[in-house]
Structure 1
């Protein structure tokens, strides 16, 4: 039997709720101290909380303090605050602090039971999702359930056990480094080094030495023999990030290494065999660069045995809130604060924003919001996203009704154009009767 904590100092209401909520194991507390004690002892998933608690029964200060204490101890707990009939402001304050729902007195047994049942249902769903997220995180570091990112995950699972050179294509901030590490983690070389080098961040005259190493005395300042990144990755995986920015002359040496699996240090004569897996990434169009003669065609085909296109965040809207909640949990741990989630306005803003900086931009916004927030609920002002109201409202159109109406209107318009406005032919084309067609024309204001 599920445990339900009822924080209420009115004996009469306690008796009423005891009989009403007989399907639950009801635990009663009549003040802040006993409520926290019961929470620690029984760990209920749902709590009903009367805001008018002693010693401040006439106001809500003690009740709101109790709410904050409960959520600080157990952020996942669903707290239903119970307020006076004309106390809407305190109810809204409680919701802002993280309460799940509120109910205004006088208590109607059936209504309150429905709210409590719903809270338990939501808690059960969140608990199941949390378990699933843990299992998913154990198997993959790539977060998301959108079709495009699921396709990427599937490709990673298939490519990782092979030795094929993999090319990751995607805009800046889409997580190419994360995908590369995931390929290494799931490969047979996972217990060997993963070495990354950004070809765009190292000056051209130093990049060759960084990759291949150098012998003592090879150039001014070379006071000792130093192995390069390729040697350091021996047995493991070398990640060449932003390979599109690699200088053209150096591309020939990389191609030779990929073909022969041997290197020569700068200033050296000995050939050194190296066994590594290569993963490359770029945000540039290598095919266009090949046509422009800024990237070697033979190297392009050598590094693109498998190509994985990583979608930008704006093309995987289903994942925005999932990633946002994950990043907020990370910020909670970093700041030692317990955030309960995002307000409705913040959710709208997250979904409506275009995210030109992709996941990197989202990560920065969530971190900043967590630092700036004064409550446990992240608001749109905390995020600081410049979104107009029309965009925000459009981002929340998830319902089947809205989706169906959009599809109906589009099909109706196409049929009318196809039939050149002839209503009889339009009805036949759509497979509906003329009266139904008239109703649809009225509904979508297409009659003219």
Structure 2
């Protein structure tokens, strides 16, 4: 349906939002209706047939559901299942907005929005599905950058979040185990932001000593300390106008956190050895491999700094929880490294594929990448088998060995229990079998098994 022929209903308890939507859309659509109170939705829908509804995620309503937006989305879909619904959300509700897609929403927009983007989103929702999207509006397979790949639901949620939050200036905290691709997510956000043409500056702050921290981030003047032989611009100033990515932020000390917080609050840096503050204009991305619960421990990390860096949070799941991605990534790396090492196209036999699927990848995507690269270097064949895939010895015990140890431990427990019960009954097999819940024959089999 064309926008000019569309009836639009906007529901938000913020009158300023409704006014902005009305001014933007009224000249563009057939009819524009706005409503502040979501409890009037059933009544409005009985009299007015919108082609699309803009629905806020949060209301101060009398219905206490934990999230009013999801509740009213479900009610709208009960009354008019065919109507397209676009959720209006703030930075902090991205996870709920993604959940709304599973409840039937066509899309969501993050406020404050860009008018052109909102109009494009409405036109897409009115136009139905496109050739490269599913009915929910999410692409079936997405590639961001060169190696951030995934077909799993978890990765699709991440791709969708990136697409939505990248054009904003929201500060992003990226969580995930080592090797999951936090760096790639940060670069993808920058490349899709309005700052893409400006610098992307990465700093591994967890590796900086107390003395280097200020100099590296904020810069210094010549003579500020013994080795300061010339003026130096810090990473904050280098990233001015662009994106600053602070990796391993969970590893910095409380004193470093205090210095970082001051700069983020004031949007000013002062070089060591200088008294002149320099204004900065950056978009901040941070990453850590610490679990969020550990990061929220005030003895380890300041809560006021967490709020400052965590307008939106993206959690990258470990590869073992992204099973559909393993074989796709393996084939991708096989293609990349076959080309790099001037080899013909590489395939995997069934045993190799099964070995990849069964392994738990403690080193995540990075371990899978190195495993495939090593196999291609060492093999002279065009089809890799299970023996070609040697997982990293520097990671934790492979799952097969872990399972074997568990079995051995259980066997040890069973043997000990049998000996204790037989001793308790002075060697009476009948009484021991009864207490163990076994038949005499089953107990004799176990005695033979454990050589008792």
**Fold match by TM threshold 0.5:** yes
The superposition leaves residues 304-346 of structure 1 with CA deviations (integer Å, 9 ceiling, x where unpaired) of 1100110000000000011111111110111011133111111
What residue is the counterpart of 1:306 in the other structure?
312
- Partners of 1:141 and 1:186 lie apart in 2 by 15
The superposition leaves residues 241-287 of structure 1 with CA deviations (integer Å, 9 ceiling, x where unpaired) of 01001121121121122122110011111010111100000011344
Matched, 1:238 2:244: yes
Alignment map for 1:208-227 (pairs within 5 Å): 208-227=214-233
- Partners of 1:324 and 1:361 lie apart in 2 by 11
- Partners of 2:229 and 2:145 lie apart in 1 by 45
What residue is the counterpart of 2:291 in the other structure?
285
CA contact (8 A) 1:140 1:182 kept: no
Which of 174, 178, 181 aligns to 2:187? It is 181
What is the DSSP-based 3-state SS (H/G/I as helix, E as strand, rest coil) of the residue aligned with 1:367?
Answer: helix
- Partners of 2:145 and 2:228 lie apart in 1 by 44
- Partners of 2:246 and 2:308 lie apart in 1 by 13
Alignment map for 1:34-49 (pairs within 5 Å): none
Counterparts in 2 of 1:361 and 1:138: CA distance versus 1, 3 Å: closer
Alignment map for 1:255-266 (pairs within 5 Å): 255-266=261-272
CA contact (8 A) 2:241 2:282 kept: yes
Segments of structure 2 that go 5 or more residues without pairing to the other structure are 1-131, 133-138, 392-397, 404-452
Q: TM-score, normalised by structure 2?
A: 0.55
CA contact (8 A) 1:244 1:286 kept: no
What is the DSSP-based 3-state SS (H/G/I as helix, E as strand, rest coil) of the residue aligned with 1:384?
Answer: coil
What residue is the counterpart of 2:368 in the other structure?
362
Structure number with higher helix proportion: 1
- Partners of 2:300 and 2:244 lie apart in 1 by 23
Which of 289, 296, 302 aligns to 1:296? It is 302
What residue is the counterpart of 2:333 in the other structure?
327
- Partners of 1:212 and 1:361 lie apart in 2 by 35
Which of 226, 244, 250 aligns to 2:256? It is 250
- Partners of 1:182 and 1:216 lie apart in 2 by 36
What residue is the counterpart of 1:371 in the other structure?
377
What residue is the counterpart of 2:149 in the other structure?
143
What is the DSSP-based 3-state SS (H/G/I as helix, E as strand, rest coil) of the residue aligned with 2:314?
Answer: strand
Which of 132, 149, 153 aligns to 2:159? It is 153
What residue is the counterpart of 1:33 in the other structure?
none
- Partners of 1:200 and 1:378 lie apart in 2 by 39
- Partners of 1:240 and 1:138 lie apart in 2 by 20
Matched, 1:191 2:197: yes
**Residue 141 of structure 1, CA deviation:** 4.9
- Partners of 2:199 and 2:186 lie apart in 1 by 13
CA contact (8 A) 1:170 1:310 kept: yes
**Residue 136 of structure 1, CA deviation:** 4.2
CA contact (8 A) 1:174 1:360 kept: yes
- Partners of 2:329 and 2:170 lie apart in 1 by 30
- Partners of 2:257 and 2:143 lie apart in 1 by 37
What residue is the counterpart of 1:395 in the other structure?
none
CA contact (8 A) 2:201 2:244 kept: yes
CA contact (8 A) 2:142 2:156 kept: no
- Partners of 1:309 and 1:136 lie apart in 2 by 18
- Partners of 1:205 and 1:337 lie apart in 2 by 48
CA contact (8 A) 2:142 2:151 kept: no
- Partners of 2:237 and 2:342 lie apart in 1 by 41
Which of 268, 275, 282 aligns to 1:269? It is 275
Which of 312, 337, 341 aligns to 2:343? It is 337
What is the DSSP-based 3-state SS (H/G/I as helix, E as strand, rest coil) of the residue aligned with 1:223?
Answer: coil
The superposition leaves residues 276-303 of structure 1 with CA deviations (integer Å, 9 ceiling, x where unpaired) of 1000000113443443412111001111
CA contact (8 A) 1:209 1:266 kept: yes
What residue is the counterpart of 1:429 in the other structure?
none
- Partners of 2:296 and 2:364 lie apart in 1 by 27
Alignment map for 1:375-414 (pairs within 5 Å): 375-385=381-391
- Partners of 1:137 and 1:251 lie apart in 2 by 35
CA contact (8 A) 2:175 2:292 kept: no
- Partners of 1:195 and 1:307 lie apart in 2 by 20
RMSD between aligned residues: 2.4
- Partners of 2:142 and 2:191 lie apart in 1 by 15
Which of 314, 318, 341 aligns to 2:324? It is 318
What is the DSSP-based 3-state SS (H/G/I as helix, E as strand, rest coil) of the residue aligned with 1:268?
Answer: coil
CA contact (8 A) 2:145 2:188 kept: no
What is the DSSP-based 3-state SS (H/G/I as helix, E as strand, rest coil) of the residue aligned with 1:200?
Answer: helix
**Residue 374 of structure 1, CA deviation:** 1.7
- Partners of 1:266 and 1:328 lie apart in 2 by 48
* Number of matched pairs: 260
- Partners of 2:323 and 2:193 lie apart in 1 by 30
CA contact (8 A) 1:193 1:236 kept: yes
